Structure 1
């Protein structure tokens, strides 16, 4: 049953199910973003302690992807995906029924590991099933589909928090996982055509080859920097809105919904310009991002309110979505023969970068006001410009060679 090949008649439904799981990492973080201030108060811990629940997830999610790809390429996608969905649901219920922050930390680590397996298996699904332009088209849709999480999840989470409390967010996640699990059992199946022999030496060789490819590794660094801009806001925005501006979790949810729409807009623009010159379009995008960050600095001295903060954040997040879409498509299609490992490395290194970088930035620049948020964006944009400069040099070297 757990190794039954995907039936051709179910391919369309299985593809929709795969797309529904692509944003799961975002749902697992973004749905309880409006609840962060309330969780800190109810659990009797500091802001930084409850923000660490996001960091724990990101670190475990990133690290698990570094290794799960080889398991998926050797033992298949389907069975590992089903087991992970079940464990994720159980961990969500445990979180909803505890007031111990350390148990929550442990379950968030479980969340990260299981979501890593789920998302990597579904990315590999597309490489297994589709080829050529159709595959390229689907891969370019990943960041767009992924962006539904920061749009929908905080919006839903804000209402769940307001009417039922923070625990409702985790019951919602459990229900979502169980529903998809049942549908996967009915409609999905195994898609890997030729499993790789599980040899540590061979796997290490593949990992080494991929990481040693400069364009691939630098692309992942850009993914981490672009998503860190979104995550820094996610970890600080609710505290600015609810504590500094005195507004409700529902308002925080609406703001996150709008900024999630910005990431999706950037993804659509990335898909629309998929055939444009690679370095040129990204250079223009980063320069625009830099310009608006400087404008955001200037605006703080004249006007500082919810509308100005969200306006500039929207533009910066849209630019981040554009960068993310472009590099994500490139990295995932770079090594089609080892789709699981390539997907795992792409997501894994990306989220390790995001977890350490975003948590480090909010620890150094606390969630205080729009000015501090601007400083956080500026640090990440400067790092992005430096990375793009290295990519540009690599590109010129390849052209001349």
Structure 2
């Protein structure tokens, strides 16, 4: 549970810690805003495309080896980011950071399935989601002070030390949890991937989870420029705002654990998504009245993040319960697809340069509506586990 919690936290803080520094990085390299935002999108892309490889390998060579390899790559790539001479170099090693986090994430999710079952599985998955939510809570707050006191490079010193800590803890304290090794049979691998990938319920819930995560990451790439450059607030103020938003997501995760005792996962996702759509519409209407007002924006975004605290963990629980016998493959496909979804959506959002409350609300309405359609189809049994 210690390593699972630590990896979940790193997954959250890996983006959010250096988000307050984005405007400063733009000025440091003398580059365009979209190239700075690209570092987050490439991180998510690496996180997406590599999970399927690491997850499958962990079924064959064990979880511990993948943890060690991934943590070494993360430590080295984080250290190189400190001395990046150009924004594209920084973006490339952010991609490698995402690749290495993919290995950590795929293995951590598989370790949950290795170690728990039934209600304990849902409980451990919930704690994994909570650990991830701690990153958005603490990350921007710490990052804003690191930026204010030491500059943006301090964020990557933090990442370097964190990756090294995971490697040392894994090497000396973590046992192997995969007790059912499978041979690297490419025919079997292809069959397993197809079984997972073309399962309609799995695919639809993975898309919903990717959209829920995208909602948060979109604000991460837009929020610093909107709040610091357009609204005129300082980096420390942004850190406190991000702290509040992260706390809203965390509260959503906590309420989700309570709601899970009384309602099905599908019902929780259904009502939380409808709530998010309604709040996004209110945010859009208010943007016509008061343009780019922090006091209008903050309550709406906080409520939306709280809804995502229900949506994202529920989608993970729903998908991971389908393929327990090939947990590594299933978790890697889930992570790969959701990471790629986030990367594509955030690249599109970055190109729009939508640093305004109106465009932020508009894209939220579109994304939540797509998620709602998929949830309704699952609720009506158009998509089934078979």
**TM-score, with length taken from structure 2:** 0.95
Q: Quote the residue 1:62 is aligned against.
A: 48
| Alpha carbons 1:242, 1:249 under 8 Å: kept | yes
- The alignment yields a C-alpha RMSD, in angstroms, of 1.7
Runs of 4+ in 1 over 4 A off after TM superposition: none
The unaligned stretches of length 5 or more in structure 1 are: 1-14
**How many Å separate the matches in 2 of 1:135 and 1:295?**
37
Q: Does 1:378 align with 2:365?
A: yes
State the SS of the aligned residue for 1:394: coil
Q: Quote the residue 1:283 is aligned against.
A: 270
Q: Quote the residue 2:338 is aligned against.
A: 350
Q: Quote the residue 2:286 is aligned against.
A: 299
| Alpha carbons 1:283, 1:388 under 8 Å: kept | yes
Shift of 1:239: 0.2
Shift of 1:240: 0.4
| Alpha carbons 2:201, 2:384 under 8 Å: kept | no
Name the stretch that deviates more: 271-280 or 236-245. Answer: 271-280
**How many Å separate the matches in 2 of 1:268 and 1:30?**
20
The unaligned stretches of length 5 or more in structure 2 are: none
Q: Does 1:119 align with 2:105?
A: yes
Name the stretch that deviates more: 272-281 or 143-152. Answer: 272-281
Residues 123-153 of structure 1: CA distance to partner in whole angstroms, max 9, x if unpaired? 1112112233222211122222210011111
Name the stretch that deviates more: 272-281 or 326-335. Answer: 272-281
Shift of 1:398: 5.8
**How many Å separate the matches in 2 of 1:161 and 1:246?**
17
| Alpha carbons 1:68, 1:344 under 8 Å: kept | yes
Residues 311-337 of structure 1: CA distance to partner in whole angstroms, max 9, x if unpaired? 100011111121111111111222111
| Alpha carbons 1:120, 1:344 under 8 Å: kept | yes
Q: Quote the residue 2:37 is aligned against.
A: 51
Q: Quote the residue 1:337 is aligned against.
A: 325
Q: Does 1:72 align with 2:64?
A: no
Residues 146-187 of structure 1: CA distance to partner in whole angstroms, max 9, x if unpaired? 100111111111100111111100001001111222222221
Shift of 1:73: 0.3
**How many Å separate the matches in 2 of 1:97 and 1:55?**
21
Q: Does 1:394 align with 2:368?
A: no
| Alpha carbons 1:216, 1:334 under 8 Å: kept | yes
Residues 372-399 of structure 1: CA distance to partner in whole angstroms, max 9, x if unpaired? 221221221222222223223335x769
**TM-score, with length taken from structure 1:** 0.92
Q: Quote the residue 2:198 is aligned against.
A: 212
Q: Quote the residue 1:28 is aligned against.
A: 14
**How many Å separate the matches in 2 of 1:227 and 1:298?**
24
